[in-house]
Structure 1
Amino acid sequence: MKRRSFFKRGLLATLGTTLVPSISSIGHPRGVRDGAKNVIFLVSDGMSHGTLNMADILQRRKNGKPSAWVDLYVNNKVKRALMDTASANSMVTDSAAAGSAWGGGMRVDNGALNIGPNGEKPTPILQKFKNAGKSVGCVTTVPVTHATPASFCVNNFNRNDQEGIAQDYLNLKFDLWLGGGDKYFNSSKRKDRTDLYQSFKKSGYKIVRSRKELIELKSGPALGIFADDALPYSVDRENQAELKNKTPSLTEMTKKAIEILSSNDNGFMLQVEGGKVDWAAHGNDTPALVYDQLEFDNAVNAAIEFAEEDGQTLVVITTDHGNGEPGVFYGKKADSNFDRLQNVLCSNEWVLNQIDKSFTPGQVIELIENSQKVILNVSEAKRVLASYENIEKSGLYNPRQLPFKSLADFQEKHFSVHWANNEHSGVFVELAMFGPGAEKLPGMIENYKLHDFILKTTQL
């Protein structure tokens, strides 16, 4: 295995890439054995088919090449399947139940983490890998205690118990967590005032709080927390020097995680989540959505590059459910409208957080034109401002109740991107595999059966 050559091209090379990824040539794995030694499980949370499609279109039109994920299909380099995503109590899952299907190998009710409908507590898959002597870790753009990473790690009746999940992580003694969620570890923000950073440090963990510290990290175990809640959207990070210097990208975290975990001769399992794809879909935030999907695509490329050189790694690429079901729709200016996304500088979330009650319609128009190349009319600007009269309510992924839906509605005629909703959908989703055992993937699979498929493929 040529780990040194991979990492020479790895994290440091990432620092010079653009937001839209550049795919390298991906060959078939060499030295394939009967089972996989390692697993890299990548989840673009809340990715609808339209999200995958729009990211690929943007990549082709901006850089003249397909997205990494779609290129794997074009060149027949992965085994492709559809996956059913139902939970135990609904045909439309949430991320906790969807992740628990993979993590625990059974369907659970929405909101639960590896707790079955009858109180069953299956051992989460990362615990199984750790118990087998392998290194394990999670990487995400949302809090490391959020539903998807937690579903690979813990049993909990309530996905919202993120302070409790953070405490559980300390007891698990896994090798690596990289993502957001300072408020669940910081003594000044936790309800019980426990300083979990100090507790992790006493247990032998390196505490990593910046991009620079991540780059300098040489070994685990490590806890890397880079934001109070979730990390910034990729489009904002890429276009704001302060964010880019301070916060690592999903790809940088993924490459560093592979570097550290792969030092274990017994193997490893890494779960990687593009968590803010889902958050962007909840907000109907088109600029945030397509660029976070492309950053996830960059992480896919990093995983495939490692796996093809290593020859012993199964790469799983999928999503837990659809969300919002966006798409590009017909119109005389559909092509030129969609091309506006090549030049946007900010997410809708960033734009809306700059506005307050003191803004005039003219200031709103100027802000959005400068940051997103979209020109609202005065009536539309007034409707956006009207939402700021009562803005301190609480809401899922939108605590300030910012007018995401209004701005998305106005943008439809500018981007030619339309949204069906702002919630999860019950559609079948994409599933792709590369590496030892991938050829055994059936053309259609239920989400919970993926758990045993991975265990059999790795001979655990």
Structure 2
Amino acid sequence: MARSDLLRHIQLLPNGVKSEERPKSVILMLGDGMGYSTITLARYEKALRQSKLAGDLNLNVDSFPFSGSIRTFSADNIVTDSAASATAYLTGCKANNGCVGVDPNVTRDPDSYDPRYNAPDSIHSLAKSAGFLTGLVTNQPITHASPAPLYAHTHSREFEYSKDSDPLINKHGVNCMDIASQFVNKSHLFDLVIGGGRGHFLPTRLDKEGLRGDNRNLLQEWLDKCAIRNESCALYESPTELLAQREQVFKKERILGIPCI
């Protein structure tokens, strides 16, 4: 097995590490809580189902030509959470548990956040600045702590939507926007987004599934922003609608699929 792996790597890089070929695209797969122990457990589970030893088989991830690792520990706790670990993974900056897309100086107190100093760039924003098409696909709400560091900066992962009619203004005069509002404000940075959390974007008065207390319809605001930029866009609010028009989806400049609550 070691010999075959070595030969495969030699074929991938015939000129050694001096190869000038670059990948056309990059896909970052973020499995919430998916460390080496989780992958090992999956390997043992697969082996058990096939009545084999774990060392005798591989997962698909084991066949990847290259691998790397990143330490995603929390800045303030032995046990990290999704917000801090995803912030480390997607921005390269450690954060305190419960904080999204900010540096360790931000705590769960909204007054601790100042976007002039505490908002590191995400790998997504850097990719967009470099001219790449970018997207986000998740089986969680778009506003969940795991994907949110791609675009949001907030003192609390629970602040996925606004429950109040009045904005939260901190001592720096900063409007601490909820995560869903931040997503819409940065919608121009995403070419494709598919995920859950539809209720976080809709007001309670408009939809029985709406959760927002500020009467804002963020899905309509997303459409309005696309129109202002003269972009062709598509909004899909149900799995049936998304599947029925799947052949037309990628003809649009901006796509938002949010078929789940």
Aligned residue number for residue 111 of structure 1: 98
**Equivalent position SS for 1:179:** strand
State how far apart, in whole Å, the 1-side matches of 2:51 and 2:133 are.
38
What's the offset of the Cα at 1:171?
1.5
Deviation at 1:61, TM superposition (A): 5.3
Render the CA deviation track for 1:165-210: whole Å, top value 9, x for unaligned: 1111111122122111011112232111211111112233411123
Shift of 1:82: 4.6
Pairing 1:34-433 to 2, within 5 Å after superposition: 34-60=21-47, 62=49, 70-73=59-62, 75=63, 77-118=64-105, 119-163=117-161, 164-172=178-186, 173=188, 174-188=190-204, 189=210, 190-204=212-226, 205-215=233-243, 216=246, 217-218=249-250, 219-228=252-261
Q: Is the 8 A contact 1:95 1:148 kept in 2?
A: yes
Q: Per-residue deviation at 1:159? A: 1.7
Q: Counterpart of 2:87 in structure 1: which amino acid?
A: S
TM-score between the two structures when normalised by the length of structure 2: 0.65
Moved over 3 A (4+): 26-37, 48-51, 53-66, 80-83
CA contact (8 A) 1:124 1:154 kept: no
Structure 2: how far apart are the matches of 1:176 and 1:69?
Answer: 32
> Greater shift after overlay, 104-113 or 28-37?
28-37
Residue 30 of structure 1: CA displacement? 9.0
User: 1:87 Cα deviation (Å)?
Assistant: 1.7
The AA in structure 2 aligned to 1:200 is W
* Structure 1 position 145, deviation (Å): 0.6
CA distance 1:203–1:82, shift in 2 (3 Å) = closer
Q: Shift in Å at residue 96 of structure 1? A: 1.2
Q: How far off is 1:40 after superposition?
A: 0.5
1:50 offset after TM fit, Å? 4.8
Q: Secondary structure at the match of 1:223?
A: strand
Verify the 8 A CA contact 1:129 1:136 in the aligned structure 2. yes
- Residues in 2 aligned to 1:64 and 1:153: alpha-carbon distance in whole angstroms: 44
* Cα distance change of structure 1 residues 50 and 99 upon mapping to structure 2, 3 Å threshold: closer
**Is the contact between residue 91 and residue 123 of structure 2 (CA under 8 Å) also seen in structure 1?**
yes
Q: Give SS of 1:148's match.
A: coil
Q: Shift of the alpha carbon at 1:56? A: 3.4
Tell me the alpha carbon deviations over residues 261-304 of structure 1, each in whole angstroms, 9 at most, x when there is no partner: xxxxxxxxxxxxxxxxxxxxxxxxxxxxxxxxxxxxxxxxxxxx
SS at match of 1:203: helix
- Aligned residues of 1:124 and 1:155 also touching (Cα < 8 A): no
Q: Secondary structure at the match of 1:79?
A: coil
2:51 & 2:142 partners in 1: Cα distance?
A: 35
Distance between the aligned counterparts of 1:117 and 1:50, measured in 2?
27
Give the partner amino acid of 1:93. Answer: T
Contact 2:238–2:259, Cα closer than 8 Å, also in 1? yes
After superposition, the Cα gap between the structure-2 partners of 1:30 and 1:167, relative to the gap in structure 1 and judged at 3 Å, is farther
Deviation at 1:117, TM superposition (A): 2.6
Q: Does the Cα contact within 8 Å between 1:85 and 1:92 map onto a contact in 2?
A: no
Letter in 2 for 1:209: E
Identity, % of aligned positions? 29
Aligned Cα RMSD in Å? 3.1
The SS at the match of 2:29 is: strand
Partner Cα distance (2:127, 2:133) in 1: 7
CA distance in 2, matches of 1:69, 1:223: 36
Question: For residue 390 of structure 1, what is the aligned residue in structure 2?
Answer: none
Taking structure 1 as reference, are residues 156 and 207 closer, same or farther at Cα in structure 2, changes over 3 Å only? same
Change in Cα spacing, 1:34 to 1:88, as seen in structure 2 (3 Å) is: farther
Cα contact 1:186–1:196 (8 A) shared by 2: yes
Unaligned 5+ runs, structure 2: 1-7, 106-116, 162-177, 205-209, 227-232
Task: Measure, in 1, the Cα distance between the counterparts of 2:149 and 2:136.
Answer: 11
Question: Contact (CA 8 Å) 2:72, 2:86: kept in 1 or not?
Answer: no
Per the normalisation by structure 1, the TM-score is: 0.39
